[in-house]
Structure 1
Amino acid sequence: MELRALQYFVTVAEELHFGRAAERLHIAQPAVSRQIARLERELGVRLFDRSPRRVRLTAAGRRVLAAAREALVAVDRVKGAAGLPAGALRIGTAAGLTSRLERGIDSLRRAATALDVVLVDLPVAARLDALRQGDLDLALARGVRSAPGLTVLPTWTEPLLAVVSTRHTAADHAVAGLAELAGSVLRIPSRQLDPPLHDAVTTALRDAGVRPRLGRPAGTPRDTIVEVGSDPDSWAVLPAGQVGEIGSARVRAIPLEPPVTITGSVVIPEDLPRPCASAHVAAFRDTTS
Structure 2
Amino acid sequence: MELRALRYFVTVADELHFGRAAERLHIAQPAVSRQIAGLERELGERLFDRSPRRVRLTAAGHRVLAAARDALAAADRVRTAAAGPRGVMRIGTAAGVTARLERGIDALRAQSPAFEVKLVDLPQAARLTALRQGEIDLALARGVAAAPGVRVLSAWTEPLYAVVSARHPAAGREAVGVAELADGDLRVPDPSVAAVLREAGVPVRPDRPAGTVPDTIVEVGSDPRTWAVLPADQVAEIRSTRVRAVPLAPRTTITGSVVVPNDLPHTCAAATRAAFGD
Judge same fold: TM > 0.5, yes or no.
yes
Match of 1:22 in 2: 72
Contact 1:158 1:240 in 2 (8 A): yes
Contact 2:163 2:246 in 1 (8 A): yes
Contact 2:87 2:114 in 1 (8 A): no
| Whole-angstrom distance in 2 between the partners of 1:256 and 1:114 | 43
Residue 100 of structure 1 deviates from its aligned partner by 0.8
Match of 1:115 in 2: 115
Letter in 2 for 1:129: T
| Whole-angstrom distance in 2 between the partners of 1:200 and 1:213 | 13
Contact 2:150 2:259 in 1 (8 A): yes
Letter in 1 for 2:72: A
1:197 aligns with 2:193: yes
Residue 113 of structure 1 deviates from its aligned partner by 1.6
| Whole-angstrom distance in 1 between the partners of 2:75 and 2:174 | 51
Residue 198 of structure 1 deviates from its aligned partner by 2.2
1:92 aligns with 2:92: yes
1:285 aligns with 2:253: no
| Whole-angstrom distance in 2 between the partners of 1:150 and 1:214 | 30
- Note the 1:5-154 alignment, pairs <5 A: 20=70, 22-26=72-76, 87-154=87-154
RMSD over aligned CA atoms reads 2.6
| Whole-angstrom distance in 1 between the partners of 2:212 and 2:73 | 41
SS in 2 for 1:22: helix
CA deviations 1:11-36 (Å, max 9, x no partner) are xxxxxx97556325438x9xx9xxxx
SS in 2 for 1:275: helix
| Whole-angstrom distance in 2 between the partners of 1:242 and 1:114 | 30
User: Normalising to structure 2: TM-score of the pair?
Assistant: 0.70
Q: How many residues align?
A: 211
Contact 2:165 2:222 in 1 (8 A): yes
Unaligned runs of 5+ in 1: 1-16, 33-71, 77-84
Percentage of identical aligned residues? 60
Contact 1:178 1:257 in 2 (8 A): yes
| Whole-angstrom distance in 2 between the partners of 1:212 and 1:99 | 29
